[in-house]
Every structure is written in structure tokens, then in C-alpha cells.
A and B are shown apart, each in its own frame.
Chain A
Amino acid sequence: MNSPVPPPSGVIDQYRIATQPYYRAGGDEIALFEAAYAARMPMMLKGPTGCGKTRFIEFMAWKLGKPLVTLACNEDMTASDLVGRFLLDAEGTRWQDGPLTIAARHGAICYLDEVVEARQDTAVVIHPLTDARRALPLEKKNELVTAHPDFQLVISYNPGYQSILKDLKQSTKQRFGALDFHYPPRAIEIEIVAHEARIPDATAATLVSIGEKTRHLKGHGLEEGASTRMLIHAGLLIAQGVDPVAACRVTLVRPITDDVDMRDALDGVVTAFF
């Protein structure tokens, strides 16, 4: 409203999710998230990569009927990439809202994926949005954006693999409620893999078994076992008629390790199943 250059009408509409994303709940996360949303509580989704966090938030946005603004964070990111910046155009300068500002202004759910990847000084810009103020100061523009009532901030956070140096500050963490995500329970993961890769349940079950076995090696030569996402990738190749052992090599074994001995061990895991 206060913006000198109001966004063209419907700018937020591109962030709406039209059709229901496929999400298979593993527990009571949907209800918990609904409650958190009702309180507009900032939420943190914890869990290893590829376990369904992104899919979950897409589903929740759809279910709550809110637009979803997603931003994958990285270490080159500056505060401006989140908040917005002045651009030069024919008339001179023009302010362009960043994704966070768009979400706050228009009442979207803002999902900052892997927020730890962003530099610390970048991450602190979210603080004012996460406490009672629910406001976003645009210092360059000298504007304080009060968050739309529908706005919610959600971040994802994988406690597993990043260095202590990169960890979120306590002061940041404590602003969020947290939901733990894991690789789904076996039966559910089978359902997911079968659905996403369009393969028979039996094949999906084998892939899930392989995934489970690789996860035993977390901390023993592997940073992380094969994710649900990787299992789906294997299934997608199998659905195209690729030999299962080869499909697993390409999508599960090779991407996960560069160590020759580990590769041998994982190849052995795959061949134990086919």
C-alpha cells in the first residue's frame, strides 16, 4: 500500500498453488503446522535433504490457501537478495521488492530453504519478522513493512552436515517452532516412491530397502544415506526400462560417494536385492 510503485496486480498470484501437491503425511505434522500457522508462528522444518520438507510446505500452502514464496539460500546471498533493491530503469531508480518483502507485504508463506547457507549477517534480517513486531525494515528505502496478517516465515534446517561455523545462531533458532522430518516410515516411503516414480509397490519396496540399508552407514563413511528423492530417481529410471542394478548405481551409489571401497560396499548392497 505504501509502496511508491505498487506491484502490478496479481503479482502474488503467480505464487499460488493451483493443484493439490501429493504429500503423504508420516505423522501429525499437518495438524501441528496448521496450529502453528493459526498462531502465525515462525516455523523451522528440520531434517536431512530430500526427505520431503519442500513437498510438505507446498502441500501446506495449498491446504491453507496461501501463496508460497520459496527461496533457496546460498552463501553468496546478501540481505538485498532477500529484502529487495533499487533498480535503474528509464525513469531513474525503481525499488523492487525481494522475495521476503513480497511475501510479507502480500501475505504469503515465505519458505527459506537451507537458511544456514546464507551468511550470518544476511540471516539476521529476518529477526524483526519473527517476533511480535512482525515487520520488515527496508533501510535503503526507509520504509517499515508491516507484515500482512497471512504472512508466515518458514525456514528449513538440516542439522546434520554443516560445520559449527555455519550453524544458526541461538538467537535465530529460538524464534522458531520446529518440526522434525525424517525419511518416512517404510510403508509410507514405499507409497511415496511408487507414486512419484510410477513403479509397482514391489519395486518401490526394494528401493526403499536399499535406501534403509545405506542409511546404516551414516556416520560410518557416509554423511547421509540415500534420500527419498534419490530412491524416486532410481524408480524413474527403472520405470523407463533401465536395469535396476544400473539404475541404482547411477542414482544411489555414484552420487553419494567418491570412495572406491564405499562404492564397492554400496554396489554389494544393491546386488543383494536384485
Chain B
Amino acid sequence: MNDVAVHFADQRKPLAWWLRALWNDGTALHPFGATLSVARPYRSNIGLHFPDQYRAVQGAGGALVYRAGLAHLAAHHAFSGPARSRKGLKPVQVALFGVLEDARVEHLAMREFPGLRRLWSRFHVAQAGGSASTFLSLAVRLSRALIDPDFADDHPWVRKGRSMFFHPAGDLNDPGFPRELASLLGNDIGQMRLQFNAKTYVVEPLYRDDNAHLWLPEDDDDSTAQALMVEDDILLVNPEVIETEGGDVIEEESDDDDAEAGVKPVGTGADDDPELATVALDALRVVTYPEWDWMIGASRPAWCTVQERRPMPGDSAAIDAILARHASLVDRIDSLVGGNELRKPERLRKQMEGDRFDLDAVVTAMLDVRTRRTPDPRVHIRVDRRERDLAVLVLLDLSQSTNDVVEACQARVLDLAREATVLLAHAMEKVGDQFAIHGFCSNGRGEVQYQRFKDFGHTFDAGVKARLAGMTGQWSTRMGGALRHATAQLVARRNDRRLILLITDGEPHDIDVHDPRYLLQDARKAVDEASRAGVFTYCMSLDPKADHYVQRIFGPRNWTVMDHIAKLPEKLPALYLRLTR
């Protein structure tokens, strides 16, 4: 019973009654279609919104996630007070304010309902110790330290946060209480040089809401708050805009929009720029990128030339054979993905582009025009699937070493990578993510070869399959240049989330470089640049000895090392689905 998905529809009644009993509150509860594990409950002016289903979480039935989430939102409602301005807070401090505020309102609620501690704390599973090299890894530990009195964590920052939070002089009843703490602890994060990305930050654990309601929306003079602003816009569902029909506003609305927007079959690429696809086929680009020299601590301008090459087609039947051979794995992927392709569209207000005008935004913009202020151009309503607007670029290392034969299965690394990629493509297609499959190898800084087997605009058709079938491995691994080129492709895309999934069997290396640290440091720099451009990089390494260098390139969390390369075909799609769940 524990690992079966729990559906909101089955929980709505008891949840609504529970809300009314405990808080004498009759607020409406609504489901929204959720496919990413980053989907969080939220409050809008028409009620409380919950993911339409949860798969089993940490051994707890999904019903308890709903209950925990509802109690948390109710605690905010009871204790969080009116929204406040973000001014003067850095993004990391905004996030920390949320962490502390979440803990504060939960403590206040637990004064009346002591049993909620058990309900909530079962979702706090962060462990002390281990690497504490990202903000998130510490934030989840602090969250646990604030709710679980038995949790021991010696990390100085966690200890500090805990003792300040519970300091006898502090008044948990004061809604301003977390602000000063958030500032102090946020500065410490800065001093520890821990990475924080407001754009990808998601509140943990998953029962907690996105905390958007804590903040006033009109705060965008602070450019660092932009990432959160986007979320705000998404979350404000305006009842005036929704044409109510009968009881359940959201659901009626979604069906309607499905028809309107004409839900397109996945993978036709109908919403991609057709020109981009043509470019991929015909115009082969040559682009020169800078390279980072760690010795001089500076970039060497126009140092590395990426040359696009047209892939040599092979026999597409080989790819179909892969799918046929892995039929049971394909089935498993299909059932893992489940009904996720039927995502419900959501109505996004204040968009740059969209199907129709957002009346409120238009009125505001017209007022601005009349009073000679610059109007906000975001005046449209767009129907979108905000839960999963993901573009993935699979980047294959096609260097000479991929021709090595893996003992366990008597197949070349290249063949395994190809198989895995085909299965991964199947999974991505099934989920409805937009994806491209590219590969690279290098022959000195003047010639990083870059091949596009499948581009974002392509369907996974015979042509793509033929190109994948013809894939070969040669030369070296100049990762930085390839990553920069891949990043440039993704930066051009408008998707919410953009991911480079690099599949490699070794460390960066090239014929004209003798300092092993040089290309490694450059690759690390390229990953940094990508992340600053809003592109997330994840590395699947097939080199069992990779631990000592992948971490230095990709950071503490964004990589996996496959110990049994033979298992890659089944592991890669699973990893992908988990990563993007």
C-alpha cells in the first residue's frame, strides 16, 4: 500500500474536513498536474493547490504528504501574516527566510497540535555529516535541526542557526523574527562560498509549499529576485480570468484549454523553430570559444575552435533492434513514466507572449502609457505546462577510448552509450521533454568536432536513427569547448529548465595539452559559465576511477559514476527520470 501513488481526488474530502476541523477553515482545495518532483503545493486567491498525485515518499503514504502539506499551508495562514517586501535581502537570504519562516509557523502550530511534529518530521530525512558544499545540503539539515530535537548535527552553521532560532530571547510569535536570522545566516553562506541558484532552488522537504505567498510581487527592481518573480507570476491564478463552470474551476478550465491549445503529439517539434532544425542539417557552424588557463588565472580569448561535422549515417535498423532487444526495459520505462504525458496545462499570467491578453496587466500597462511611464510588456496569458518545461541536450563523448571493449558484456563503450541513449530518448519522448543528442571529440584546440545526431526540432525518426547508428569514436576529449557549444544551443531556448547531460568515459584530455589540470580546470569553468547562464550540467561518468576529478568539474552533486558500464542502458533512463522527477 505504501508505494502506490496516492491521488488527490481520493484525498480531497478527508483533507477538506480535516482543514475545517483543525482550523475551522473552509478554503477550497484544488489539484494541479505535477510530473516533476519539484512540484510544490501553493496558495492562490482561489484556494490551496496540491499536486494531483504523489508517489510513495520516504515510506510514508502519499496521504500523509497531502496532510503534511495542508497543515503547513494552514500554519502559514495562521501565523505568517501579510506578504512582505524582498528588498534588502539577497536571494539566498530570501530562501533562508523561507526555511526559518517554515520552521517558525510549524512550531507555533505544534504548540496547539503536538502530533504535527511527527507528521512533518518524517519527511525531514537530511543526514548530518557528508559533504556540506551546497546551500541546499545545509538548508535541509537546518530544517531538520529546527523540527527534530533528536537530530544531532555538529556543522557550525547548522548549530548556529539552531541555537539562534531557539534562543530564549527570540520571540517565535513575531513575524519579523526570521528576517535578521536569515540575513546573518545568509551572509555566512556567502562567506563559505556555497553555491546558491535562486532559479533552481526548490523548497524542501516536498510537503512544504513554495513560499511565494510570503513575498510581495511588486519587487522587481531587485534583479536578483527575478527568478522568484517568475514563480510568482505562475502561481497567481486569478479567478476573474478563469471562466467558472460548475464546481471545480481548475479542472473545467484545463479541459477547455487542452482543446484550445491543441495538445500536440510529443516530439513532432511543432513548437520548435523550424529554422533551427534546418541549420542543424545544412549549415555546419564553426565557432571559436575562449579557454580558461588556470595557471594565469585568465581566459585565453578565441582559443578553441568547435567545428560542426555532419554525422555519417549508418543503418537505422540497428537502432530499432536496440529497442526490440530491450522490449521489457522499454515497458518498464513506459510504466515508470506512467500517465505523465497527460499533463494539465496551467494558465500563466503576465507573460511576454500568449494566446490572449491578461486584462489586469493590459490595464496597468495602459495606465503606465498614459502617465508616461514605461509599461510592462508582459500583458499576455499563456497556457503552459509549467511543471515540466524541460530541454535536455544529451552530449556524448565520442573519443577514441569509447572503442574499448567492456569485459562484462563484450560490447564497446560506444555501443553501450548508444544503447543507453536510445533508451533514454525513448523515455524523454514518453515524458514529453524536448531533447537533442549531440556528440564531440577533439584533435587539438583547433578542431573540436561536434556532431548533431538529433536536434530539438527533430522527431526521433529514421534519419536520426541512421545518424546514431553511424556514430564512431576517435581522438580526444576537450570537454570545455564542447560544453560551451552545447550551452550556446540551450541558452537560445526558452524552456524553464535546461539541462546538459554529459555522458563520458574519461577525464578531459587532448593531444596538445600536457598539464592534466589545464583541461580539467577549463571544463569546470565551462560548467560554471553554463550554470550562470541558467543551464544545468549533469555528468554520467563511465570511468570507475572518475570520483577524484568529476566532482571537481561538476560540483558535489551533479554527477554519477557508473561502476558497471554494462548496466548503463537500464541505468541511464532510470537516472534521468529520477533526476527530473
Interface residues of B in 98-141 (CB under 8 A from A): 112-116, 118-119
By a CB distance below 8 angstroms, the chain A residues around B14 are: 261-262, 264-265, 268
B303 contacts the other chain (CB 8 A) = no
By a CB distance below 8 angstroms, the chain A residues around B26 are: 220
By a CB distance below 8 angstroms, the chain B residues around A273 are: 113-115
Q: Is the CB of B22 within 8 A of A213?
A: yes
Q: A209-B112, A262-B14 are in contact. Are A272 and B20 (CB under 8 A)?
A: no
By a CB distance below 8 angstroms, the chain B residues around A270 are: 115
Q: A209-B112, A271-B115 are in contact. Are A216 and B24 (CB under 8 A)?
A: yes
Q: Is the CB of B22 within 8 A of A274?
A: no
By a CB distance below 8 angstroms, the chain B residues around A274 are: 114-115
- Per-residue 0/1 for A222-248: is the Cβ within 8 Å of any B Cβ (1 yes, 0 no)? 000000000000000000000000000
Interface centre among A209, A262, A264 (most CB of B within 10 A): A264
By a CB distance below 8 angstroms, the chain B residues around A217 are: 17, 20-21
Q: Is the CB of A220 within 8 A of B17?
A: yes
Q: Which residue of B lies closest to A270 (CB)?
A: B115
Q: Is the CB of B17 within 8 A of A261?
A: yes
B13 contacts the other chain (CB 8 A) = yes
User: Given the complex of chains A and B, what is the CA–CA distance between A221 and B21 in angstroms?
Assistant: 11
Q: How far is the CB of A148 from chain B (nearest CB, A)?
A: 49
A269 contacts the other chain (CB 8 A) = yes
Q: Is the CB of B20 within 8 A of A220?
A: yes
User: Given the complex of chains A and B, what is the CA–CA distance between A269 and B13 in angstroms?
Assistant: 14
A214 contacts the other chain (CB 8 A) = yes
A266 contacts the other chain (CB 8 A) = yes
Q: How far is the CB of B70 from chain A (nearest CB, A)?
A: 9
Q: Is the CB of A216 within 8 A of B21?
A: yes
B151 contacts the other chain (CB 8 A) = no
Q: How far is the CB of B310 from chain A (nearest CB, A)?
A: 61
B76 contacts the other chain (CB 8 A) = no
Q: Is the CB of B17 within 8 A of A272?
A: no
Q: How far is the CB of B96 from chain A (nearest CB, A)?
A: 28
Q: Is the CB of B21 within 8 A of A213?
A: yes
B458 contacts the other chain (CB 8 A) = no
By a CB distance below 8 angstroms, the chain A residues around B24 are: 216
- Per-residue 0/1 for A182-207: is the Cβ within 8 Å of any B Cβ (1 yes, 0 no)? 00000000000000000000000000
Q: Is the CB of B119 within 8 A of A272?
A: yes
User: Given the complex of chains A and B, what is the CA–CA distance between A34 and B116 in angstroms?
Assistant: 47
User: Given the complex of chains A and B, what is the CA–CA distance between A270 and B22 in angstroms?
Assistant: 10
Q: Which residue of B lies closest to A274 (CB)?
A: B115
Interface centre among B17, B24, B115, B116 (most CB of A within 10 A): B17
Interface residues of B in 15-63 (CB under 8 A from A): 15-18, 20-22, 24, 26, 63
Q: How far is the CB of A208 from chain B (nearest CB, A)?
A: 12
B418 contacts the other chain (CB 8 A) = no
By a CB distance below 8 angstroms, the chain A residues around B112 are: 209
Q: How far is the CB of B67 from chain A (nearest CB, A)?
A: 6
B71 contacts the other chain (CB 8 A) = yes
Interface residues of A in 243-267 (CB under 8 A from B): 261-262, 264-266
By a CB distance below 8 angstroms, the chain A residues around B63 are: 264
Q: Is the CB of A269 within 8 A of B20?
A: no
Contact residue among B17, B67, B114 (Cβ-Cβ distance under 8 Å from A221): B17
Interface centre among B13, B14, B26, B118 (most CB of A within 10 A): B14
Contact residue among A209, A216, A220, A271 (Cβ-Cβ distance under 8 Å from B119): A271
Q: How far is the CB of A193 from chain B (nearest CB, A)?
A: 18
By a CB distance below 8 angstroms, the chain A residues around B113 are: 272-273
Q: How far is the CB of B273 from chain A (nearest CB, A)?
A: 49
Contact residue among A214, A261, A271 (Cβ-Cβ distance under 8 Å from B21): A214
Query: What is B's interface to A at a CB cutoff of 8 Å?
Result: 13-18, 20-22, 24, 26, 63, 67, 71, 112-116, 118-119
Listed from nearest, the 3 A-B pairs whose CB atoms lie closest are: A265-B17, A264-B14, A272-B113
Query: What is A's interface to B at a CB cutoff of 8 Å?
Result: 209, 213-214, 216-217, 220-221, 261-262, 264-266, 268-274
**7 A/B residue pairs, CB under 8 Å, sorted by A:** A209-B112, A213-B21, A264-B18, A265-B13, A265-B14, A265-B18, A271-B118
Q: Besides A213-B22, A261-B14, A274-B114, 13 other CB < 8 A contacts? A: A217-B17, A221-B17, A265-B14, A265-B18, A265-B21, A266-B21, A271-B118, A271-B119, A272-B71, A272-B113, A272-B119, A273-B114, A274-B115
